Structure 1
Amino acid sequence: MEQEIERRTLRRIGWRIVPFIMLLYFIAYIDRVNIGFAALTMKDDLGFTASILGIGAGIFFWGYFLCEVPSNIILHKVGARLWIARVMVTWGLISAAMAFVQGTTSFYVIRFLLGAAEAGFFPGIILYLSYWFPARHRAGVTALFMAAAPISTALGSPLSAALLEMNGLMGLHGWQWLFIVEAVPALILGVVVYFYMTDKPEQATWLKDDERAWLVRTMQSEQAGQSGQSGQGHDHGGLQALANPRVLALALVYFGTSAGLYTLGIWAPQIIKQMGVSSMAVGLLNTIPPSLSVLAMIWWSRHSDRTGERTWHVVLACLAAAIGLVIASLAHTLVGLVAALTLVNIGISCAKPPLWSMPTQFLSGAAAATGIATINSIGNLGGFAGPVVIGWIKEQSGSFAGGLWFVSALLVLSAILTWLLSRSQPRSSVSVRPVSP
C-alpha cells in the first residue's frame, strides 16, 4: 500500500512539476548562451574581437556570482512561485535590451546585469526539487530538468540561425532580432509561473489527501535525518553552509563542469564555423551533440539512482568530457569535430545530475538554500574562466586549441576533486536505495 501511494505521488508531482521547470530552463539557457550565435554577425557589425566576446560572454557570471546566494535565501523565505516569476520577468527585459548594445561598454554592462537578473533561478529550482522529491529519486528528476540545456541548444541553434537571416527587417540587424524574439517567452512564462507553481507540498491541493500526507511525512523525515547528521538542517545553519568543506569542494568541482558547458554554449558555433560552413549549417550541425547527450544523461542519471552511486558517475563523465575537448582541439575534419563535441556534451551533461544530488543529501532548509547557491555561484565562475581564456588564446594564437586544452585540464581537476571528496567524507545519512525505473 505504501509503495502504491509513493508511486502514485511521484508520478503526479513528476508530471505537474518536471515538464514545466524544463520549459523554464529551456528558455533560460537560450537567453544565457544565444550570444554564441549572435556573435557570428554581431562581432563584425560592432567590431568586437574574440577577446571582447569572451569577456562579454563570461562577465555574465560575475553578476550571477554576486547575487546568487542572497537570491536563493530570499527564495527560501518568500517562496519559489513569487521569486522565480520575478527572476524570469527581469531577465527577459534585460535579455531584450541586448538588442540595443552599441559598443564594448554597453555589451559588458548588459551581460553583467543579465547575470544578476538570472541569479537564483538554477539553484532555486534545485532547491525547489529538494522540497518535492526524496533524495533517492533526485538524480533522475534533476537529469530531466537539466536535459533542457542540451535540448535548448539542439532546438535553439537552428532557430537562432534562422533569426540571423532576418537581417535588415525593419532596419534591425539579424542579431538584434535574435535577442528580442528569444526574450519574449521569458516575459510570458514569468507571469505563468506566479499562477502555476506551488511553493510547498503542504499547499498542493492538486494532490490527493493520502498522496499529500505521504509526501509531507517523507520529506519531513528526510530533513530530520539530515539535521541529526549534520546539525545544518535548520534555518540557523545557513551561514554555516558557506564554510562547509563539502560545499566548497563541490563548488570547485562544478567550476570545471561549468567551464566545459559554457565553452560549448559560447564557442561551439564559432569552432564549427571555422570549418567553412554557413551560419545555417552551423545551426544544424550544432544540434547533433546535445541531442545525443540528452539520451545519455537520462540513462546515466537513472543508473546513478538505481545503484545509489554518485562519485564515479561524476568522475567518469568529467574525464570523458576532458578527452573530448582534447580530440576537438586536434580535429581536422567536420565529422571528427562534431564527434568530439558530442563526447564533450555527453560527458558534461552526464556529470551534472549526480553532482547536484550530493549537496541535498547533507543540507536542508536555509543551509540548503545557501549551500546550493554557493556551489552554483562559485562554480559558475568557470563559465567566466572558460570563455574568457579561450577568447584570449584564440586572439593571441589564432587557434582554439590552447583554450580547449585549458578547459580539459579543469575537467580533469574536477574528476580528481570528486574522488578525493568521496575518500575524505563520511557517507550521508540519507539512504539511497535501488528503485525500479
Structure 2
Amino acid sequence: MHSISIDSTESSLLDCSGEERDAAYRKVVWRLMPFLFACYFVNYLDRANIGFAKLQFTADLHFGDAVYGFGAGLFFVGYVIFEVPSNLLLQRIGTRATITRIMIFWGLVSAATAFVRTPTELYVARFFLGVAEAGFFPGVVLYLTYWFPSKRRGRMTSVFMSALAVAGIFGSPLSGLVMTQLHGLRGLAGWQVLFIVEGLPAAVLGVIAWFLLEDGPERVSWLTPRQKEIIARDLAVDRSMRPSVRESYLHTLLDIRVYVAGFVSATMFSASVSIALWAPTLIREAGARDFQAVGLLTAIPYLAAAMGMYFLSRSSDLLLERRWHAAAAAAACGVCLAALPFGGGSVLITVALLSVAAAGLYGAIVVFWTIPPAYLPEATRACGIALISSLAAISGFFSPAMVGALKAASGSLYIGLAGVGAVTILGALVLLIGIPADSIRPTFPR
C-alpha cells in the first residue's frame, strides 16, 4: 500500500549493516509499539471486564447465566457485521483516523454499559460495543505489515498481543480491587464503577492516536531518509518473495485457505472468550469467594499466557516455522479445558489447568496471526485478514451463549468448556491439514 522509491539506493541497501538496520527498526518499535500495546491492553479490559462485573450485576439486576452468556456473546455479532467494512475503510482513510474513530466510540459505549438495567439494555450495549471495536485487531495486524517484514513481524505481533496477557495479569486484580474498594462511590455499585473506570481511557487513547500514528514510514519525520530506505527495501524484498498473482476481492472470498484459517482462528477465539468470560466464575466456584482473591488468582493464567507468547513466538521466529508451533500449543489448551472437571472443588488444580491452557492458547494465537499475512496477496490482504477475523468472531457469540445455556440447564460450567476444548483440538488438526507449509514458507527471507 505504501511505497518509497528505492531504485537509486538499491545497491547501498544491499550492503546495509545489521547494526544500521536494527537501529532503524528499533526506532520504529519504540515509537509505535508501546502505544499499540496500551491500546490493546485497554481493548481487552473493556471486552473482558464483563466477566468480573458478572459476579455482582447478575445478582443486582436479577440476570441468570443464560442472559449473561447471551449478552456477552452479542458483542461478537456487532463485531462480525462491521469487521470487514471497518478494515476496508481503514485502507481508504488510513490507520490514524480509523483507530481514533474506533477507540473513542468503544470507550464511550463501554462506560455507558454501567447504566444498563434490563436484559435488553445489556444486549444493546454489548452489540454496540462490538460495532465500536470492529476492525481494531485486524487493522493493527495489517498496520504492522506497513512497517515490519515477515522476519520481524512475528516478534512485533507477539509484543502487541502480549497486551492480552498483561491486561489479564494487572487487569484482573484491578477489576477485583475496583469492585471491592469503590463500591458505593457516588451511589454506584462496584460493577458500574468498573465499566466507567476501564472504559473512558479508551476514548483518551483514541484522541492521542490522531496525533501519534502515521500511515507508513514514508510519511514520518522521525526516521532519517536512510532509515526509510532501509525499511522500504526490506518490505519490497518481502513482497517479492510472495507469488506475484493479482487477485480480486472475489478471489479472496472464494479462497478456501481463508475459510480454513477462519475456522482455525474461530476455535482459538472460542477458547479465548471462554477463559476471559468464565475464568472468574470457575475460580470463585472452586472456592475463592472474595472479589480481590478472585482477581489475583485470575491473574495467574495470564502470567502463564505472557510466558507462552514470548517463548513460542521466539521459537517460531528462530526456527522459521509457524504451523506446528501454533497447532501443538492450541491442542495443549484444548486438553486442559477438557480436563477442567477433574479440578472441580480445587482452586489449585483449576488455576493450574487454566494457566497451561492460557499459555498454550495465547502462544498459539500469536504465531497463528503471522500466517494469514504471509500467504494473502497484498491487494486483498486487508479484506482477507478482516474476513478471517470475522469468521473467528462468530464463535465469540455462540461459545458464551452455549456455555451459559448449558450452565443454566445443568448447573455446571464443565460440560460447555469441555466441548470448547474438543473443538480447539479439532482446530489444531485442521491447521496442519488445511494450510500446507509451502504456502507460507516463501515469506521467510534467509
Correspondence for 2:166: 151
Match of 1:384 among 363, 383, 397: 397
Alpha-carbon distance in structure 2 between the residues aligned to 1:364 and 1:80? 20
Correspondence for 1:55: 70
Correspondence for 1:99: 114
Correspondence for 1:409: 422
User: Comparing 94-103 with 214-223, which one deviates more in the overlay?
Assistant: 214-223
Equivalent pairs, count? 428
Correspondence for 2:230: 214
Alpha-carbon distance in structure 2 between the residues aligned to 1:296 and 1:427? 23
Question: Shift of the alpha carbon at 1:359?
Answer: 1.0
Question: Shift of the alpha carbon at 1:209?
Answer: 1.5
Correspondence for 2:298: 286
Task: Tell me the alpha carbon deviations over residues 15-40 of structure 1, each in whole angstroms, 9 at most, x when there is no partner.
Answer: 11111111100000000011000000
Give the letter aligned to residue 386 of structure 1: S
Correspondence for 2:57: 42
User: Comparing 194-203 with 5-14, which one deviates more in the overlay?
Assistant: 5-14
Match of 2:156 among 128, 141, 145: 141
Correspondence for 1:27: 42
Question: Shift of the alpha carbon at 1:428?
Answer: 4.4
Q: Is the 8 A contact 1:130 1:138 kept in 2?
A: yes
Gaps of at least 5 residues in structure 1 are none
Structure 2 CA distance for partners of 1:432 and 1:316, relative to 1, 3 Å? farther
Question: Shift of the alpha carbon at 1:364?
Answer: 4.4
Give the letter aligned to residue 226 of structure 2: D
* 2:133 equivalent to 1:118: yes
3-state secondary structure, aligned to 1:47:
coil
Structure 2 CA distance for partners of 1:43 and 1:311, relative to 1, 3 Å? same
Q: Is the 8 A contact 1:247 1:374 kept in 2?
A: yes
Question: Shift of the alpha carbon at 1:224?
Answer: 4.2
Gaps of at least 5 residues in structure 2 are 1-14
> Runs in 1 of length 4+ with deviation above 6 angstroms?
none
Give the letter aligned to residue 284 of structure 1: L
Following superposition of structure 1 onto structure 2, how do residues 323-334 of structure 1 map, counting pairs within 5 Å? 323-332=335-344, 333-334=346-347
Question: Shift of the alpha carbon at 1:429?
Answer: 3.1
Question: Shift of the alpha carbon at 1:86?
Answer: 0.5
Task: Tell me the alpha carbon deviations over residues 268-325 of structure 1, each in whole angstroms, 9 at most, x when there is no partner.
Answer: 0011111232111100100111012202211110110111111101110111101111
Match of 2:348 among 319, 329, 335: 335
Structure 2 CA distance for partners of 1:29 and 1:416, relative to 1, 3 Å? same
Task: Tell me the alpha carbon deviations over residues 390-416 of structure 1, each in whole angstroms, 9 at most, x when there is no partner.
Answer: 111111111111011110111011101
Alpha-carbon distance in structure 2 between the residues aligned to 1:239 and 1:125? 23
Alpha-carbon distance in structure 1 between the residues aligned to 2:438 and 2:419? 29
CA RMSD of aligned residues (A): 1.4
* 2:24 equivalent to 1:9: yes
Question: Shift of the alpha carbon at 1:164?
Answer: 1.1
Q: Percent identity?
A: 38
Question: Shift of the alpha carbon at 1:198?
Answer: 1.3
Q: Is the 8 A contact 1:330 1:401 kept in 2?
A: no
Correspondence for 2:249: 238
Alpha-carbon distance in structure 1 between the residues aligned to 2:382 and 2:145? 10
Correspondence for 2:357: 344
Q: Is the 8 A contact 2:340 2:418 kept in 1?
A: no
User: Comparing 155-164 with 324-333, which one deviates more in the overlay?
Assistant: 324-333
Following superposition of structure 1 onto structure 2, how do residues 167-206 of structure 1 map, counting pairs within 5 Å? 167-206=183-222
3-state secondary structure, aligned to 1:399:
coil
Question: Shift of the alpha carbon at 1:388?
Answer: 1.3
Structure 2 CA distance for partners of 1:248 and 1:423, relative to 1, 3 Å? same
Alpha-carbon distance in structure 1 between the residues aligned to 2:250 and 2:52? 40
Question: Shift of the alpha carbon at 1:76?
Answer: 1.4
Alpha-carbon distance in structure 2 between the residues aligned to 1:222 and 1:393? 48
Correspondence for 1:273: 284
Following superposition of structure 1 onto structure 2, how do residues 75-94 of structure 1 map, counting pairs within 5 Å? 75-94=90-109
Q: Is the 8 A contact 1:258 1:381 kept in 2?
A: no
Question: Shift of the alpha carbon at 1:378?
Answer: 0.8
Correspondence for 1:18: 33
Task: Tell me the alpha carbon deviations over residues 182-237 of structure 1, each in whole angstroms, 9 at most, x when there is no partner.
Answer: 11110110000000011111112211211111111221332344351x434xxxx3
Q: Is the 8 A contact 2:151 2:317 kept in 1?
A: yes
User: Comparing 161-170 with 83-92, which one deviates more in the overlay?
Assistant: 161-170
Structure 2 CA distance for partners of 1:187 and 1:62, relative to 1, 3 Å? same
TM-score by length of 1: 0.95
Q: Is the 8 A contact 1:61 1:380 kept in 2?
A: yes
3-state secondary structure, aligned to 1:205:
coil
Alpha-carbon distance in structure 1 between the residues aligned to 2:372 and 2:317? 15
Q: Is the 8 A contact 1:305 1:432 kept in 2?
A: no
Correspondence for 1:257: 268
Match of 1:355 among 354, 368, 378: 368
Q: Is the 8 A contact 2:45 2:167 kept in 1?
A: yes
